[in-house]
Amino acid sequence: MHSENAIHLDWRFNAAAIIFSALLHTIDGIVRIDAAAVAHRQHNLFHADPTRLPQGACLLSCAPSGARLYWRLMSENLVIRNTCRICDSRELHLVLDLGRTPLANAYLKSAEEIASEQWYPLTVRWCARCHLLQLAEVIAPEVLFSHYLYASGFADAFHAHNRALVKQIKKQFGLKRNAQIIEVASNDGSLLKAYQAAGLRNVLGVEPASNLAAMANQAGVPTLNQFFNERVARELRDERGAAEVVHAHNVLAHVDDIRGFVRGAATLLDDEGVFVVEAPYLIDFLLRGEYDTIYHEHLSYLAVEPMARLYCDCGLEIRHVERLAIHGGSIRVFGCQPKNRKLRMQDSVAEMLALERAHRTHSLEGLLPLAEQAARQKRELRGLLEQLKREGKRVAAYGAPAKGNTLLNYCQIGTDLIAYTVDRSPLKQGLLTPGMHLPIHPPAKLLQDQPDYVVILAWNFADEIMAQQAKYRARGGRFILPIPKPVIVE
C-alpha cells in the first residue's frame, strides 16, 4: 500500500502559531515524512493535544531556550507507527503521553548546542490484540545507536550478574569449551568477557555502536560492528555455523523490526541451542510506576504474553522464564527451536502468564493508572525539591542514565532545582544532560562540594551508589530516591 495525503495542522503557542503542511507516505503502517513547509501567524493562546491531531502530526520538535522556541522538522529521523510491531493490529490505544523530549542519550558537549537541540513526541500505546505496550514514535536506529554512551562495564552489579549467569548457562546446558556463544547488542563485551573467563573462548559480539565495538575488540572480545538483522544472521550462520547460545540482553525492546530480530536469532540457533533474552518486565514497570524507563530507545515494554506470540510467529518457543531484580525488575526468557530436547517446558511460563492476567495487562483499564502515577510522582518530586530550595538546601544528583533524563524532562527539573549530576562513566563526564542541561561531573565532585542532598537518578543501582558514597553520607549528606515516590534516605 502506498498513499499520499496533504495534512494541514494549525498549532498556536502563546502569541505565535505555526501552520505547516506535510506530504506523508504511508508504507507498511508507518507514516514517513518527506517534506514540509512552515509559516508563522499571530493567534491567541492555545495548547494542542497531539494525540487528537491527524496521524503524522507529531513532526516538529520544540526546545525551550529562554523565552524563545526552536522548532525543527524531523524529516528523516522520525517515523510514527499506526500498527503494532508484533501483530500488525491498528487497535492501538493511548496509555501515556510524556510530551516532547530530546533523545535520552543525546548528551550535549556545550551550551552552544542547546539552540539546535531536537525534541520529539513520546507517547505509549497498548495493542488490543496482542497486548504489547509500545511507543508509536520510531527514531532511526542509526541516530540512536551508532555512537552510544552507555557502557555496561561501569556498573559493579553487572559483573556479578554476568558471572552468575555464565555459571548457570554453562552447567544447565553442559556447554563444551568450543561451544559458540553469540551476543547481539553486546555493548562493551562485559558478558562475553565473563564467558571467556569461564573457559569458553568461542565468543562473538554484534554491536552497532562503533565506539563500544572498538572498546570490546580492544579488550580482547571479538566484536562485529553491525546492526543485527536476518541478513547478518544468515551470513554468520554460513561463516561460523550454528550457535549453542544466543544472548540478547536489554535490546529486544529497542528494536522496531522485532520480528525480523527474533527470526535472525532463530536462524543462528543450533537445534539444541538456547536464545536468552533479558528485558525490563512490564509487571515491575507498572507496580513501581517506572515511567522514567520510557524513552525513544525503548520501543516495547515487554511481558511474556506478547513475547510468546512473537516467538511462535518466528519459529521459536518460550520454555522457561525467570524474574530478576536488576534494572528495577526484569525477566530472563529462555527460547529455543520447537525440536529442542535439552530445554523442557517449565511451569514458570504458565505461572508468568497467570501473573500477567492477575495484573490485567490484557486490559486497557489495567494500564491507564500509569498516567496518574507519573503525574503524582512529578508533583511530589517537584514539591520536595522546591521545598528544599526554599530552605536554602543545595541539591545535586547521582547518575546520568537515560531514565534520569526522561524524569528530568518530564518533571521539568533543571539547574534551578538540581545544580549538577555526577557519573562514573568517563564517556559522559564533561557533557550536559539532554533537555535540562545539568552538567555531568565525576563522582569525586560530591565530596568536594558536599551538597545537602543527592537525587539518585540511577535508582536501580541505589544500594551500590550509596555504598560507594559512604564518606559523603558520613559527612551528613542525604540521598533522595525518586521512584516510585520521592523518599529521603537518612
What are the residue boundaries of the structural domains of the chain, listed by start?
A: 3-125, 152-366, 371-489
Judge whether 118 and 102 are in contact, CB under 8 Å: yes
Which residue is listed with cell 510468546? 308
CATH 3.50.50.60 correct for 371-489: no
Taking phi over 0 as left and psi of -120 to 50 as alpha, with beta for the rest, 423 belongs to beta
Its pTM surpasses 0.85: no
Torsion sign over Cα 85, 90, 96, 100: positive
Judge whether 94 and 125 are in contact, CB under 8 Å: yes
**Digit-coded pLDDT (tens) for 214-226:** 999 999 999 999 9
Taking phi over 0 as left and psi of -120 to 50 as alpha, with beta for the rest, 250 belongs to left
Judge whether 290 and 284 are in contact, CB under 8 Å: yes
DSSP annotation of 45: -
Angle at CA of residue 412, ends 43 and 294, nearest 5°? 105
Judge whether 107 and 431 are in contact, CB under 8 Å: yes
Exposure on the CB side of residue 396, measured as CA atoms within 13 A: 23
**Digit-coded pLDDT (tens) for 406-416:** 999 999 999 99
Identify the pLDDT of residue 151. 57
Cα gap 302→81, rounded to integer Å: 18
Amino acid at 9: L
Domains 152-366 and 371-489 share a fold: yes
Q: Is the pLDDT of residue 19 over 60?
A: no
Judge whether 348 and 321 are in contact, CB under 8 Å: yes
**Alpha helix segments (H runs only) across 391-484:** 402-411, 444-449, 462-468, 470-474
Q: Is the pLDDT of residue 46 over 70?
A: no
**Digit-coded pLDDT (tens) for 169-187:** 999 999 999 999 999 999 9
pLDDT interval class at 38 (50, 70, 90): very low
Angle at CA of residue 246, ends 244 and 252, nearest 5°? 160
**Digit-coded pLDDT (tens) for 90-141:** 999 999 999 999 999 999 999 999 999 999 999 999 999 999 999 999 998 8
Task: Using alpha carbons, select from 124, 120, 109, 101 the residue that is nearest to residue 402.
Answer: 101
**May I ask the CATH architecture of the domain 152-366?**
3-Layer(aba) Sandwich (3.40)
Cβ atoms within 10 Å, residue 428: 24
DSSP-based helix, strand, coil % in the chain, nearest 5: 35, 30, 35
385 Cβ contact list (under 8 Å, min separation 6): 395, 413, 417, 418, 455
Q: Is the pLDDT of residue 230 over 50?
A: yes
Q: Is 35 helix (H, G, I), strand (E, B) or coil?
A: strand
Grid cell at residue 100: 516532547
179 Cβ contact list (under 8 Å, min separation 6): 200, 202, 244, 245
Cα gap 33→36, rounded to integer Å: 8
Grid cell at residue 237: 550462520
**In whole numbers, what is the pLDDT of the chain averaged over residues?**
85
Task: Using alpha carbons, select from 46, 65, 71, 85 the residue that is nearest to residue 121.
Answer: 71
**Digit-coded pLDDT (tens) for 331-358:** 999 999 999 999 999 999 999 999 999 9
Task: Using alpha carbons, select from 245, 295, 310 the residue that is nearest to residue 435.
Answer: 295
Cα gap 191→168, rounded to integer Å: 13
Q: 49: which strand partners?
A: none
Grid cell at residue 381: 518530586
Four-CA torsion 113, 114, 117, 122, nearest 10 degrees: 140
Which residue is listed with cell 524474574? 323
Helix or strand run (H / E) with residue 354: helix 347-358
Q: Which segments within 119-214 are labelled E, that is strand? A: 119-127, 133-135, 137-139, 181-184, 203-206
Helix and strand element counts for the chain (H, E): 14, 24
